[in-house]
Chain A
Amino acid sequence: MLLSLLLPVLGTLASSVEVKRPRGVSLTNHHFYEESKPFTCLDGSLTIAFDWINDDYCDCPDGSDEPGTSACPNGRFHCTNAGYRPQYIPSSRVNDGVCDCCDATDEYNSGFVCENTCKEMGRKEREALAQMAEVAREGFKLKQALIEEASKGREDKQRTLAELQEGKKSLEEQVETLRSAKEAVEKPEKEAKEIHQKNWEEQKAAEKAAQEQARASEAFQELDDDGDGLVSVAELQTHTELDVDGDGTLSEMEAQTLLGNALQADASSFLDAVWTSIKERYKPEGLPDPAPLPEAPIEEAADPQPELPPEQPAPEEDYDEEEEEEGDDDESNEEEPKVTPPQQPSDKAAEEDGEEKMPPYDEATQALIDAAQKAREQFEEAEKSLKEMEDSMRNLEKEISFDFGPQGEFSYLYNQCYELTTNEYVYRLCPFNRVSQKPKHGGAETSLGTWGAWAGPEENKFSAMRYEHGTACWQGPNRSTTVKLTCGKDTVVTSTTEPSRCEYLMELVTPAACQEPRDPGAADHDEL
């Protein structure tokens, strides 16, 4: 079991000095292990003979007596890894048949042959670092531009906001002015319209009374069959439609009752009393039953058909396609009303109801109305622009208040969306807004969360974003997404995974995540 206690460690360069130290001890620690002197465990708990160091038996509770073997459960082994990076590995990985140190020093007695890959790894790492540095450099440059752009944008926005705030005052004043102006002209308008209305109604009433009287006297004359200037019970009885009890005939008694409990009525009492009680049922003689009205609507319904654009030949395939499109297109509903025939019969119906149209306003009234309408329109327009202005101010305020990173470098992502298409889904990330997933081959979109907060670790808060409260999972939580930001020249979503059910992980490459590149030479420290 006793292997060479001391391992001559050669540096990579011919000029470096050979340092003798027990296996698995780093250069910085080698002075604790003085040859041939008793060794005190690094935690001070025990002092042992020097030849108990690396004798493959764990004596020190802290494992410090076995830096080069696997004997201590809590020990660690130092690999020099010349050409690459030195490293500590747990003692349990010494001689375990797995190559851990690139210089192969951890497998010195396991029968497994490891190759020294440090040079290769060092080269690869340097290349990778160089490449990363290159990316970082370029990315960082872009980031500077983004920062500048952001600060400009922010200034612009603030300026715009200030301007808007400024403009808002005058606009508000304007709205108020227009409101009073509107109210001022609306008052005479209202009065004039009321007068006009009243006049018209009076006129209508008078006309109606006259008409009624005319119908009554007409009826009287009709009823007065013998022309004696009186309507008798018998004369009334010829009009069976006036039957009161519904037996189909008008009895004498009924007729008398209708005549005001009299046997006859003269013209004036007929007009005053009898007519009102019979006019609803009375049918003038010699006229057929009023024809039913539906003819007109039928004509109208038939009307629009010839109006369909005749130049559309509509071959069937085309038609199908259109239907499919319509099926997919949410907006198609809005177009539908266009297809339905215009409904114009309201005027006619009004006429047929016997209602007359109000006569046009007289010139003076019309002038008042026109003036008021104009004032209203002006007011509404002003009010609308005020609302719009307020909206854009709100948006601006929101955007300005967003935390776009220490220097606003992430602000360019605002109002943008980035997509990644996988085998099954199209993922869509709209930074600071939402993340969603849509099946590639049709199907509803699923929300994977809306903007929550920056979610990186404390020291690097802006390295991750969190989107929460997405669509709920079956028997599970609401979907959520963490977006990891990494440095790159372009802005692109590079991957989406679902490491845990309904918890998504997305990677977004962006120059905004680039850090100022360090001097690349500084990375290659500790090389012997």
Chain B
Amino acid sequence: MAAAPERVGMAAVIWTALFLAAAFAVDRSNFKTCEQSSFCKRQRSLKPGSSPYRALLESLQLNQDSMKLQLVNEVNKVPLLLELYGLQGNMTRIKINELSPLRPRYEVPDVLVRDPASTRLAVTGRDENSVELSLGDSGHKLILTGKPFRMDLLQGRELVLSVNPRGLLHFEHLRQRKDSFSDKVSSSVGSLWDKIKSLFHREPPKEPAPEGGAAGEETEATVPGDQESSEKSTKSEEGSDAPEQAEEELGSWEETFKTHTDSKPNGPTSVGLDFSLPGFEHVYGIPEHADNLRLRTTDGGDPYRLYNLDVFQYELYNPMALYGSVPVLLAHNIQRTVGIFWLNAAETWVDISSNTAGKTLFGKMLDYMQGGGETPQTDVRWMSESGIVDVFLLLGPAPRDVFRQYTTLTGTQALPPFFAIAYHQSRWNYNDEEDVDTVDAGFDMHDIPYDVIWLDIEHTDGKRYFTWDPSKFPHPRSMLERLAAKRRKMVSIVDPHIKVDSGYQIHNEIRSRGFYVKTKDGSDYEGWCWPGSAGYPDFTSPEMRTWWASMFSYDQYEGSTENLYTWNDMNEPSVFNGPEVTMYKDAVHQGGWEHRDLHNLYGFYVQMATAQGQVQRSGGLERPFVLTRAFFAGSQRYGAVWTGDNAAEWDHMKISIPMCLSLALVGISFCGADVGGFFKSPDAELLVRWYQLGAYQPFYRAHAHLDTVRREPWLFGEENKALIRAAIRQRYALLPYWYTTFYHSYRSGQPVMRPLWVEYPNDITTFSIDDQFLIGNALLAHPVTEQGAQGVQLYLPGKGEVWYDVHSHQKHHAPQTLYLPVTMSSIPVYQRGGTIVPRKERVRRSSDCMHHDPYTLYVALSPQGTAEGDLFIDDGHTYNFESKAQYLHRHFSFASNTLTSSSADSKGIFESPAWIERVVILGAGKPAAVFLKQPGLAETRLDFQHEAETSVLTLRKPSVNIGADWSISLR
């Protein structure tokens, strides 16, 4: 949640005053543009041209698993160290740091799950200005050009990706602060030099040598004669350069935004680098932005920004930063999918441009390969405020390879406890225990399933997390027990801002242990948030995280029980009175790192520590469930994310699809949006449609702002109640399929919710579709997102494939664009021919109640009469599936009129009383007889029913245990 006037009393005064005027739209002036972020402005003012960096080829060192090489800025002579790693699984890592920085520069810890295994590099060619390396056994080669420095990555003869092709590598080295003007000039001479050079490239000016370089030497740099790139460089800056430079200098050692001043004790520290992706026109990823799935070019506007921020009433379809950041960009064309993972946790901006002038000159090896100049190309430029350049090139070539590569590095989606993928009922706020009981009873009375009820900030004693309001929630334990008796759960909010109050134990401990983030002067940093004045625990400290985790043990968190889980909100961190509603960049974390260095990691660590706490409280047995608003690369390991404080508007509902798809592409599969919209009140139509959409998104939670009218599903009349109930029931029936898909995501990093192009990488039509999506590989959903819709236009992909409407079972041939008339009850969902989807059709009041229920298999036949599918089962809540191999992974296949169940993974062993009550075969003819065969048993006949009109064959009650091997033949 975000805005809370009135209720929060004193705490809200400033906040309210700040935002009252905003009404229902973001106040853009609260957030920086690139122009207002001095490093972004400096970086961006550097125009494409020949790079001032030269690779000192003679310095090349080839080790067991890496290559090291020095780069030198020809202008300021500051030497950099380039490290190159070939990684197993078709990845390459490039690191660029200062050779000898004044102080260490921040390198992002804890995001990579392991040191990625490397492959052997070898020098396979060399001339006076370039080196050719082979990158392990994947057939990839890298050509490193010395002057100007660039790298080109090839597979065979095909250029896949270039590094620094536009010469935008810009590494602001650490320097001593000097107050004289000349020093100031020299400190950013690199970018100045570049501009001048691109204009007068035959007349290099003499520059004073800056500190840190070859001191005292004057530069006599000759300008590399790269005609191609200097042609492309812009030339309109003459007059403005000098004053602009002075201004930028002002921003280098101190920067003021609105009333906030950033002291920048380390001066300019930013890093920037560009990449070219020849042959790619479609790029995706770099969430979180409220924008389409396919990224736009940023020419003429702001770059996409990655800086975790609590944006009050965010706007749609723009590149503004939101709550979380994953600096991963994917590029896709019909041959190939690649990814760029820019591992940097500082404020980051990403420029995307596209041109067809892909003529790049990079050595004689390539001369003959680039034919015409019309190859479409996408150029990407990354700019971060501090840290180093640490880039992983994920070389695919298939989408699934890129997912595997990325999740090898950062981990896969944690397998959620089963209940977490069911329906969640939330509101800011369920007022008291009676309210909780009443809402809980309401779901039973109206026969609507739900698994989890949520408590927002008002449940606490004065916004002191880990406590309960003594008058509203005097007996949390018995309340939780009442929920447990219905096999339901609760989630309570635990935010990372801690009320400064000497009567508050949590605060006292954090203070006395020195766990708070510090100001630049060394005192405990205090900001303003829900409780009023609040401290921010330093979650980057492992000791702090361990302590925090211990606070979730049952004896520490009073009133907590096994069925209480956690929601981490406001963990960007949100600071109401801070710059851009977050923490000062010069705040100091453990190890002396500035907040600037690691801002985007803060929320990641909060969720990590909280999840750790939940695991620990059960002695390492139970899987955690933690929802977070802020996130970073790797957050998928710790739970779910949601898209923050959206609004009850049709466009907000619609954008939830590309927002979650973008997250899914970069590892975070467990994503959802507030069903119904957070701000404002939805009308019945919007609410019903949102329940229908949410039923097919991974994280399914209704939530609402404090100021909105009540919207429990039964408050909109019988008809709408029935529609909402039907949508939620569809979700519950499909939970076995969802869970299995999550298991795949956990095992292999494949997204749960997928853009169509992931499954149909050769079909260009799918590349820009983001109003429909796939769940796993078997279901395609196109929920209705238009007000008053009479029908939807949907695209069924797959040459020679068929799709079955899951409701009518009608068969459609693909590929085709289909107009489907809809009513209020319609949720257009299709099952792909050739797949088998397990369901549980006895929908009960909570998913836990369905744990032992029998399955129905939906076998959707391909035109060839085949189908395949699988099912994963475990206890649904512990790590035993991992630690003790207590699970079942069944494989179902249909071929030659026989459906066979076999083990997909013989390692897993799990006893389940669940059985198969029904098999529904879509697209089947009528058999004369159906026989079930189990090993060691005689064949038995099964009753069946065939609907000729829809070609649906229903097999009655095979009654085989879900873990058993069997086959059913149609004769």
Chain A contacts to B: CB under 8 angstroms: 1, 55-57, 70-71, 73, 90-93, 96-99, 110, 423, 473-477, 497-503
Residues of B within 8 A of A502 (CB): 707
A92–B842 contact, CB under 8 A?
yes
| Complex: chain B residue closest to A59, CB-CB | B956
B447 within 8 A of A: yes
Residue from the set B710, B729, B957 with the largest chain A CB neighbour count within 10 Å:
B957
A501 near B707: Cβ-Cβ < 8 Å: yes
Inter-chain contact B471/A93, CB cutoff 8 Å: no
Name the distance in Å between B480's Cβ and chain A's nearest Cβ: 15
Partner of A57, one of B16, B845, B957: B957
Q: Are A92's CB and B844's CB within 8 A?
A: yes
Min CB gap B899→A, angstroms: 18
Q: Is the CB of B710 within 8 A of A90?
A: no
B contact residues around A500 at 8 Å (CB): 708-710
CB–CB B849/A96 < 8 A: yes
Which residues of chain A are near B487, meaning CB under 8 Å? 96-98
Q: Does B485 contact A (CB under 8 A)?
A: yes
CB distance from B743 to the nearest CB of A (A): 24
Bound Cα distance from A97 to B706, whole angstroms:
34
The 3 closest A-B pairs by CB, nearest first: A96-B849, A500-B710, A92-B844
Residue of B nearest to A98 (CB): B486
A144 vs B752: C-alpha distance when bound (angstroms): 67
Residue of A nearest to B705 (CB): A501
Q: In the complex, A90→B447 CA distance in Å?
A: 8
Taking CB atoms, residues of chain B closer than 8 Å to A501 are: 706-709
The yes or no answer to B959 lying at the interface (CB within 8 A) is yes
| CB < 8 Å neighbour of B917 from A71, A73, A473, A503 | A71
User: Do A57 and B956 touch (CB < 8 A)?
Assistant: yes
Q: Is the CB of B431 within 8 A of A97?
A: no
Provide the B29-57 mask, 1 if CB < 8 A to any CB of A, else 0: 00000000000000000000000000000
Q: Which residues of B contact A423 (CB under 8 A)?
A: 471
B110 at the interface (CB under 8 A from A): no
The residues of A that contact B918 with a CB separation of less than 8 Å are 57
Q: Are A98 and B917 in contact, CB atoms less than 8 angstroms apart? A: no
Query: Would you give the shortest CB distance from B700 to chain A, in whole angstroms?
Result: 19
**How far, in whole Å, are A73 and B23 apart by their CA atoms in the complex?**
46
CB of B856 to closest CB in A, whole Å: 10
Name 12 A/B residue pairs within 8 A (Cβ), A-sorted: A57-B957, A73-B843, A92-B843, A92-B845, A93-B845, A96-B487, A98-B485, A98-B486, A473-B6, A475-B23, A498-B431, A499-B710
Q: For residue B945, give the distance in angstroms from its CB to the closest CB of chain A.
A: 9
Flag if B845 contacts A503 (CB, 8 Å).
Answer: no
CB of B501 closer than 8 Å to a CB of A: no
* Choice from A55, A93, A473, A499 contacting B431 with Cβ under 8 Å: A499
Number of interface residues of B (CB under 8 A): 36
Min C-beta distance of B8 to chain A, whole Å: 12
* Residue numbers in A under 8 Å from B23 (CB-CB): 475
Is B853 in contact with chain A by the CB < 8 A criterion? yes
Given contacts A90-B447, A475-B707, contact A96 B844 (CB under 8 A): yes
A47 to B356, CA, bound (A): 70
Measured between beta carbons, the chain A residues less than 8 angstroms from B434 are 497
A97 touches B707 (CB 8 A): no
Q: Given contacts A90-B447, A474-B16, A501-B706, could you give 11 more A-B pairs where the C-beta distance is less than 8 Å? A: A1-B959, A73-B841, A91-B842, A92-B842, A97-B487, A97-B848, A97-B849, A99-B485, A476-B707, A499-B431, A500-B708
Tell me the complex Cα distance, A500–B23, Å.
21
Please name all residues of chain B whose beta carbon is closer than 8 Å to the beta carbon of A476 when the two chains form the complex. Answer: 707
Across-interface contacts of B718 in A (CB, < 8 A): none
CB < 8 Å neighbour of A70 from B486, B706, B708, B844:
B844
Contacts of A110 in B (CB 8 A): 852
Q: Closest chain A residue to B956 by CB distance? A: A57
Judge whether A499 and B435 touch: CB under 8 Å: yes
For the complex formed, measure the closest distance between the CB of B478 and the CB atoms of chain A, giving whole angstroms. 17
Taking CB as reference atom, which chain A residue is nearest B488?
Answer: A98
Assess whether B915 is interfacial by the CB under 8 Å rule.
yes
Contact indicator B842/A70 (Cβ below 8 Å): yes
Q: Cβ of B435 and Cβ of A71 under 8 Å apart?
A: no
Chain B residues touching A, majority SS: loop
Query: Is A98 within 8 A of B707, CB to CB?
Result: no
From known contacts A475-B5, A500-B709, infer whether A56 and B848 are also in contact, taking CB-CB under 8 Å.
no
Q: Which residues of A contact B843 (CB under 8 A)?
A: 73, 92
Q: Mark B204-231, 1 if CB is under 8 A from A, else 0.
A: 0000000000000000000000000000
A97 to B485, CA, bound (A): 8
Q: Bound complex: CA of A475 vs CA of B313, how far in Å?
A: 14
CB of B431 within 8 A of CB of A497, answer yes
Interface residues of B in 908-966 (CB under 8 A from A): 915, 917-918, 956-957, 959
Question: Closest CB-CB distance, B647 to chain A, in whole Å?
Answer: 12
Contact B842 A71 (CB under 8 A): yes
Inter-chain contacts of B16 with A (CB < 8 A): 474
| B-chain residues with CB within 8 Å of residue A498 when the two chains form the complex | 431
CA–CA, A91 to B845, complex, Å? Answer: 11
Say how far A109's CB is from chain B's closest CB, in angstroms.
10
Residues from chain B with a CB closer than 8 A to the CB of A503 are: 709-710
| A contact residues around B959 at 8 Å (CB) | 1
Shortest beta-carbon distance from B747 to chain A in Å: 29
List residues of chain B with CB within 8 A of the CB of A475.
5, 23, 707
Counting chain B CB atoms within 10 Å of each CB, the highest count among A71, A475, A499, A502 belongs to: A475
Cα distance A475–B12 in the bound complex, in angstroms: 15
Q: In the complex the two chains form, what is the Cα distance from A300 to B661 in whole Å?
A: 88
Contact with A along B148-189 (1 / 0, CB 8 A): 000000000000000000000000000000000000000000
Q: Which of B10-24 contact A (CB under 8 A)?
A: 16, 23
Closest to A477 in B: B709
Q: Do residues A57 and B917 form an inter-chain contact, with CB atoms below 8 A? A: yes
Chain B residues, Cβ within 8 Å of A71 = 842, 917
User: In the complex, what distance in Å separates the CA atom of A503 from the CA atom of B711?
Assistant: 13
Q: Which chain A positions have C-beta within 8 A of B432?
A: 497
Given A56-B917, A73-B841, A97-B487; A473-B435 close (CB under 8 Å): no
Task: Give the residue of A73, A93, A96, A473 whose beta carbon is less than 8 angstroms from that of B707.
Answer: A473
Residue of B nearest to A99 (CB): B485
List the B side residues contacting A96 at CB < 8 Å.
487, 844-845, 849-850
Q: In the bound complex, how far is the Cα of B914 from the Cα of A110, in angstroms?
A: 12
A99 CA to B5 CA in the complex, in Å?
43
> Are A474 and B5 neighbours in the complex by a CB distance under 8 Å?
yes
Q: For the complex, what is the distance from the CA of A92 to the CA of B446, rounded to whole Å?
A: 13
Take A423-B471, A474-B5 as given contacts and tell me if A93 and B709 are in contact as well, using a CB distance cutoff of 8 Å.
no
Residue of A nearest to B848 (CB): A97
List residues of chain A with CB within 8 A of the CB of B957: 55-57
The CB with the most chain B CB atoms within 10 A, among A56, A71, A473, A500, is that of: A500
- Assembled-state Cα–Cα distance A475/B708 (Å): 10
Question: Nearest residue in A to B854 (C-beta to C-beta)?
Answer: A56
A499 contacts across to B, CB distance below 8 A: 431, 435, 710
Write out the residue numbers on chain A whose beta carbons fall within 8 Å of the beta carbon of B852: 110
A423→B431 CA distance, assembly (Å): 14
Q: Distance in Å from the Cβ of B909 to the closest Cβ of chain A?
A: 21
B761 to chain A, nearest CB (A): 39
CB contacts under 8 Å to A, within B397-456, are 431-432, 434-435, 447
Q: Which residues from A are CB-within-8-Å of B956?
A: 57
Closest to B842 in A: A70
> Which residues of A lie under 8 Å from residue B849 when comparing CB positions?
92, 96-98
Is the Cβ of A474 less than 8 Å from the Cβ of B707? yes
Q: How far is the CA of A498 from the CA of B23 in the complex (A)?
A: 24
Contacts A500-B710, A501-B707 given: A98-B845 contact, CB under 8 Å? yes
Cα(A274)–Cα(B710), bound, Å: 94
B844 in contact with A93 (CB, 8 Å): yes
B429 nearest in chain A by CB position: A501
Give 1 or 0 for each of B568-596: 1 = CB within 8 Å of chain A CB.
00000000000000000000000000000
Task: Give CA–CA (A473, B705) in the complex, Å.
Answer: 14
- Closest-by-CB residue of A relative to B449 is A92
The distance in angstroms between the C-alpha atoms of A110 and B842, with both chains bound, is 14
Residue of B at shortest CB range from A1? B959
